[in-house]
Structures are given as C-alpha cells and as structure tokens.
Amino acid sequence: MISSISWHKVLENDMPLNVMLNVLPTKGNLVYEYNPFRNYRLTKDKYYYDGKYYTLEDLNTKYNIFPNSDNQSWNNVPSNMTDPILYE
C-alpha cells in the first residue's frame, strides 16, 4: 500500500529571476584557458628506446635498428637492451 505524500514548501516567497537575465559585457573580461598538454600532438610516431624518444628514421641512423618485415620484431637490438616501444 502506498502511503500518502507529504509536501513541504521550499521557498516561502517568490524568487526574482531578473538577476539571471542581466548579462555583463564581455569586452575585456574574456579569459582563455591555455593548456599545452591538451593541445600536444605528435607529428610522427615516436619510439622509446634507451631512455629517449626517437623516430623510426633516427633509430635506423643512430643505432641501425629497424623493424623486421613482419613488423612484430626488431633487427639489430642488442641482447641486453629492450625492444623500442611505440608511442602514437
């Protein structure tokens, strides 16, 4: 069985809304958010290797490292180093 609903008044008086209709002039009051990390985009794919980020061309010229034809493994990576990690 549903019990009866008891209603309670929240406001005793009317609330004027004309304050919300007034608009402040925006000339000189605009503030633009500058967030360099939100706008950051990589121009090329970067690979993390030996503590730094390199492009594929940089890995090839500096370390003579390049991906195999299957694109699943790397050629010429020393056994004591980890494979480069792709960051897109």
Residue 18 lies in a domain: no
**Domain range for 78:** 57-88
Q: pTM for the full model?
A: 0.50
Residue 30 lies in a domain: no
Residue 67 lies in a domain: yes
Number of domains in the chain: 1
Q: What does the pLDDT look like over 49-59, one tens digit per residue?
A: 989 889 899 99
Residue 74 lies in a domain: yes
Residue 2 lies in a domain: no
Q: Which two tokens stand for residue 46?
A: 């970067």
Residue 84 lies in a domain: yes
Dihedral of the alpha carbons of 26, 32, 33, 37, in degrees to the nearest 10: 160
Q: What does the pLDDT look like over 3-56, one tens digit per residue?
A: 788 877 877 777 766 655 666 666 655 556 666 665 566 678 888 998 988 989
Residue 32 lies in a domain: no
